[in-house]
Amino acid sequence: MKKVTLINGDGIGPEISNSVLKIIEASGAQIDWDIQTAGADVIETEGVPLPKRVEDSIIKNKVALKAPVTTPIGKGFRSVNVQLRKDLDLYANLRPCYNLPNVKTRYENVDIVVVRENTEDLYAGIERQIDENTAESIKRITKDASHRIAEFAFDYAVKNNRKEVCVVTKANICKLSDGLFLNCAREIAEKYSQIKFREILVDNCCMQLVQNPCQFDVLLLPNLYGDIVSDLCAGLIGGLGIAQGANIGKDYAVFEPVHGSAPDIAGQDKANPTALLLSAIEMLNYIGENAYANNIKQALFKTLNSGIKTSDLGGKATCSEFTNSIIANL
Ligand code: ATP
């Protein structure tokens, strides 16, 4: 039986985790879940939102499924998400965005994979107050990190039969930092002659994404542009309730939805578990349980096709009703 860490999160985290666990169990996939709590509630008992036991569990099991965890504002704690990515060197953030059946959006046939660098750029958190009038944030980009994320994007493209990798920067303005990221992508592109390579500036990319998203295949971005553009892409396919993600490093992988803990709808049985479920499906593929992953995906598609949807997608189903329908379709 494969052992996988589950961080069940807070806000809507426990509800959607519960839904996904039930679906995976009903599919017959044999997963031994190592359930770890983290986040705001844990601070009261253990003093920090991400106790060492959580990372130890991921290091032991190598794979985790993570529901959203709130970062308390103004209490001096680093974001649990940012800390996990940094401590475990989960350098690649992977966010596939494709249309789901019977989820009406402005566009059909969107199928974009966002590959976001996860460890540096403005997220390195190097900031200083110069005087009361002025603050600075350092945008740090390194050759090593840029090469390895470009390599990841091209490798992903080859393994997943993708045609093109498009690197997104603002290298005309940030000539040194984004210029370095772009140059590294160009160098790696030369090694992958079977994959088309394209370059675009981030402002133009955003306009093109809302005008004609189907032209894009794999997008490769530094951390901050990746964060913003991946939310834009989530909007193209129907919103945060269905946007999946994964953080992948050399040794470990943490699968998690793009959305946060949505405290406004927590505890009301309203949340859409699809983003976490799709993340879990990718987790099952990652550990080699492809048949179960595929069965669950088909059951999810059947539920959506039958018109059973949660309220974020314009439906009336509660999280529990949606979950039960997927289980019935397995
Ligand atoms: P964070 O900063 O933690 O990413 P956020 O402030 O960006 O969080 P989210 O928690 O991601 O916000 O959610 C934004 C809004 O989207 C929520 O208020 C909620 O209404 C909606 N939402 C997010 N996830 C879901 C979901 N799984 N199901 C239904 N609605 C959701």
Question: Is 283 in the same domain as 297?
Answer: yes
Question: Is 42 in the same domain as 73?
Answer: yes
pLDDT of 69 reads 92
Spatial CA neighbour of 238 closest among 69, 68, 110, 67: 110
Q: Please state whether beta strands 92-98 and 31-36 pair in parallel, antiparallel, or not at all (unpaired).
A: unpaired
Last residue of a domain, one of 237, 266, 283: 237
278 domain residue, yes or no: yes
Instruction: pLDDT band for 276, please (50, 70, 90 cuts).
Output: very high
Centre of ligand 1 to C-alpha 236, Å, is: 16
* 74 pLDDT higher than 80: no
Question: Is 287 in the same domain as 230?
Answer: no
271 close to ligand 1 (CB < 6 Angstrom): yes
Question: Is 227 in the same domain as 257?
Answer: no
Give the mean pLDDT of 103-116.
95
pLDDT of 81 reads 86
Residue of 259, 268, 270, 300 with the most ligand 1 atoms within 8 Å of its CB, for mutation = 259
Which CATH number characterizes residue 293's domain?
3.40.718.10
Handedness of CA 238, 224, 123, 55 (dihedral sign): positive
> How far from each other are the two terminal CA atoms of the chain, in whole angstroms?
21
31 domain residue, yes or no: yes
65 domain residue, yes or no: yes
What is this structure's pTM?
0.93
* 75 pLDDT higher than 80: no
Domain enclosing residue 215, as ranges: 106-110+119-237
For residues 184 and 43, the model is more confident at 184
pLDDT of 290 reads 96
pLDDT of 80 reads 86
259 close to ligand 1 (CB < 6 Angstrom): yes
Which residue lies with its CA nearest to atom 19 of ligand 1?
262
* CB distance 92 to 118 below 8 Å: yes
* 82 pLDDT higher than 90: no
Last residue of a domain, one of 237, 257, 278: 237
What region, left, alpha or beta, does residue 62 occupy, with left being phi > 0 and alpha being psi -120 to 50 degrees?
left
Question: Is 185 in the same domain as 263?
Answer: no
* 77 pLDDT higher than 80: no
73 close to ligand 1 (CB < 6 Angstrom): no
pLDDT-wise least confident of 76-80, 115-119, 223-227:
76-80
Average pLDDT value over all residues in the chain: 95
For 38, 77, 141, 321, 322, the CA distances from 81, given in Å and listed in that order, are 11, 11, 20, 30, 28
Last residue of a domain, one of 237, 260, 275: 237
Cα 195 from chain centre: 24
Residue of 265, 276, 320, 323 with the most ligand 1 atoms within 8 Å of its CB, for mutation = 265
Question: Is 83 in the same domain as 6?
Answer: yes
pLDDT of 61 reads 98
* 171 pLDDT higher than 70: yes
Residue 101: CB atoms within 10 A of its CB come to 11
Residue holding tokens 């991946």?
230
What's the CA gap between 293 and 280, in Å, rounded? 8
Handedness of CA 155, 160, 163, 168 (dihedral sign): negative
296-323 tens-digit pLDDT: 999 999 999 999 999 999 999 999 999 9
Return phi, psi of residue 251, to 5°. -110, -30
Centre of ligand 1 to C-alpha 59, Å, is: 28
